[in-house]
Amino acid sequence: MSYGLTRRQWLAGLAASAAPSRRRPNILLVVADDLGSADLSCYGCPDIRTPHIDSLARHGLRFTQAYANAPECTPTRTALLTGRYQQRVGGLECAIGVGDVGRYDEAIWLAERGELGLPATEPTLPRLLKRAGYATGCFGKWHLGYRPKFWPSRHGFDEWFGILGGNADYFKHTEDDGRRVLYQNDRPVECKGYLTDLIAEEAIRWLRKTRQPFFLYVAFTAPHTPIQDPDEFDPATGTAPRRQGHRPTYARMVKRMDARVGDILSELDRTGLAEETIVIFISDNGADPNGSNGLLRGRKGTLWEGGIRIPRLMRWPGVLAAGRLTEQLTMTMDLAPTLLAAVGVGATGAPRFDGLNLLPVLKGDAAPFSRTVFWRYKRGSDRRKAVRRGSWKLVVDNDRKELHDLASDELEQHDVAGEHPDLVRELEALLARWERDVEAPRLRAFRSGKA
């Protein structure tokens, strides 16, 4: 069963997409954490101004049908780096818990064996780019494994700085259990400052010294909890108050992230690299209750549109038209094959991608097309699944089934499952077939009950 590219399709897309007259472009990939689909002014946010991030929409593409591979951090980041459904890795279908904790049966089983993380045997985007001569840097949130064998340096990054887990106090750089999780190049490090600033400054420092071509992955922790104002540092406590649910503080966190994205973009301008760099900005999933998904139903942790629809912007001067919208349905896992095709790097030795090379559509050489995509999310006893085929979307939320036609019901307000029983059965069959196809080899013993 194949939902992605065959090797022949990959090579054909690579040949059609590469720009032979240009030097291999650099790549800057910026990921926000829990930023909602309506938390940027270029997506209609009324109370947060984000001029620097918005500039990517003015000078590039703004996506209206961009989806995260999952409604939480770890699984989406797995799909981002591998270009495949995260289920193929196994055990990473929800966020890894504080201190290397598994949060559902398969993840608990892996954690007990010291295997909860993204294995270094998985081919990843940075490793493929490094093999092709790219300098690679990772700055910010990792959240793909606490143990050293899962760290960025094992996945093709030359240099890295950031936190191992899902979040940390923005000033103390500790998790909720007090564990210090800030690292630089495999060593714990202590720094003073607001985490958003530290991530940006390390990324800029790396930019100033690195050679070309480069792949720079900047994964901000903002605006993930704890909700802390960058300007409310209290010397008496060594941190800032936590203001869960306080929209003005959340807005200031987003604005600070926007300002630091602006600083990174300015560094590209200063060094004359802006015209030679592909810049992508995404969120890892929909907003939690602190953020805004606009009128979309649901939030982080759900498979309704609010949990998985995300902002996505892409700028490539001279290649992608400026100020254009694209309605092409895209998933996080599409980034790896699309970027590899854009820079003319093949995927020799890598398994087939589930993600697609969308560059022909993004360049305007091909029309947007319909596709079938899948989601599955596990946490505790929750089991959520969804399939979208064209405009039809079936959601199975803990055995409760709903069918929506997103072409006429984007807000998922009108369940029409009762009116289309044959379609429900057809989509359920597709979902079940996909689940069998993506079963992770490393979970065979778990599934058989022999370990």
Q: Residue holding tokens 């590209």? A: 268
What are 139's strand-pairing partners?
161, 218
How far is the C-alpha of 360 from the C-alpha of 13, rounded, in Å?
A: 8
How far is the C-alpha of 106 from the C-alpha of 309, rounded, in Å?
A: 26
What are 137's strand-pairing partners?
159, 216
Using CB atoms within 10 A of its CB, is residue 293 exposed (0-12), middle (13-18) or buried (19+)? buried
Please pick, among 45, 52, 94, 143, the residue that the annotation labels catalytic: 143
Measured in residues, the chain has a length of 451
What are 219's strand-pairing partners?
31, 140
Instruction: Return the closest-CA partner of residue 16 out of 4, 25, 8.
Output: 8
Using CB atoms within 10 A of its CB, is residue 411 exposed (0-12), middle (13-18) or buried (19+)? middle
Residue 73 annotated as catalytic: yes
- Tell me the residue type at 425: R
Residue 404 annotated as catalytic: no
Q: What is the dihedral of CA 419, 425, 431, 432, to 10 degrees?
A: 150
Active-site annotation, residues: 73, 143
